[in-house]
Chains A and B, each alone.
Chain A
């Protein structure tokens, strides 16, 4: 791991969340753009925690923004709304009454994974699918088709996936920053490392035999029995069935150690891996 103090500062906690930077307050327009993005990068949306950044909105726009509708929209689109950032004072009251958390601002270094509404040039940054190699080998590996709402809801309601469980997907190469891998309907087994800035997801459990450094999302369609196993726990973000935890905010003493993570009463439990 990076030992220098500056390394840790540069990393920044917001880096681990998706950021939706609004340029417009028209919910219809936001929905259309998100829909378009979802078609391009379906995996980005599955139970992904998101922070809404309002720094590009004028005072006037801020007042017009229907925060309730925005929240409903995000939930409907499979995001997990975490909070608002850079809200103007004019928006504060409305934010609170509509059930949004207000997050501390950090404007200087915009996170890498910003999903910018209305500026197509930056769209390319949103996601980068993993290697075509895996796509060809296993059609269930990486979904390039949009995951429909129905599919997701169905899966969430019917958490017992065992009947449809497919055999696991095994990845031998490292998963690098900017790459995403998704094992649909089964477990994901990674023999190498996952880098900071990467994202590994599975409908089932995830096993990582190299250092686990990126974001890790098990049970993405709601399987609460899904678990995460790793040889060295260095993940940025841990998610099981939508319940998430930033490792930096966790008290666990297992950072950098072998660990197993499971869900108990909506809480992530990190245990030593024996």
Chain B
């Protein structure tokens, strides 16, 4: 059984691509055959963060247009077995994505035995974001602890549960909340919305909290998914996220000691 998982947020720059790369690498490192697709046509950067930008020959749009086979376009990661990247085109626009085209690529990945297909959504609620979420079975909602990000996540949740194929068939997409760039200090200072408030506003089960960490930028500059930096807090938090997604019961970390009491009350 393969699962299509969209990583989405509505708002840009919140950490969708960082999360897609880390999560996909995490799933693969746990032995699951995983493909991660960049839906940000025209603004690709998943390949950059994964350090494969110089290995891109064909892309997602080429495959949709029949200019290349899926096999030709998929880039196999050299560090993690089971991990494959389908880059976006830098030169086309979002209209190049068609429902039929996206569906045929996803179906082929499923037939190829991919267990997880991670779709890195572009920002916004336009065509690219719609295509990324349309075929999803589950959704990872990436949110930053600030008002506009939370509001946009709420909006994308509505679209997810009303405009996706699952919704059209009367099904419900399973939702997971990932709060990234979390800084307990700034929450205490009142600059950021607290974890409890975000969960309260969105009422989506919390999968992970990724702390604000300089290692994220370092990792992406050197083309290594941050999850491989096992010494960094962000890397460890992404590792926890992956394990939790796969069903392990792991307590949340990096939340500030004071908040922990309240948090535990809320989530056990």
Contacts and interface: CB of A to CB of B under 8 A. Distances in A.
Interface residues of A, number: 31
A210 interface: yes
A253 B190 CA distance: 25
A14 to B, nearest CB: 15
Given A176-B155, A176-B161, A5 B190 contact: yes
B48 interface: no
Chain A contact residues: helix, strand, loop or mixed: loop
A10 B197 contact: no
B191 A128 contact: no
B222 interface: no
A128 B167 contact: no
A82 B86 CA distance: 52
Contacts of A11: 147
A196 B158 CA distance: 12
Interface string A128-149: 1111110010000000000000
A263 to B, nearest CB: 29
Chain B contact residues: helix, strand, loop or mixed: helix
Contacts of A6: 147, 190-191
B170 interface: yes
Interface residues of B, number: 23
B20 interface: no
A83 interface: no
A48 interface: no
B162 A130 contact: yes
Interface string B131-162: 00000000000000001100100110111011
B154 A176 contact: yes
A174 B162 contact: no
B216 interface: no
Given A176-B157, A196-B201, 9 more contacts: A3-B190, A3-B193, A4-B190, A10-B148, A132-B162, A133-B170, A174-B157, A176-B155, A211-B200
Nearest 5 CB-CB pairings of A with B = A176-B158, A131-B162, A177-B154, A179-B158, A177-B155
20 contacts: A1-B197, A2-B147, A3-B190, A131-B161, A131-B162, A133-B170, A176-B157, A177-B154, A177-B155, A178-B155, A178-B159, A179-B162, A192-B203, A195-B154, A195-B158, A195-B201, A196-B151, A197-B151, A197-B155, A198-B158
Interface of B: 147-148, 151, 154-155, 157-159, 161-162, 167-168, 170, 172, 190-194, 197, 200-201, 203
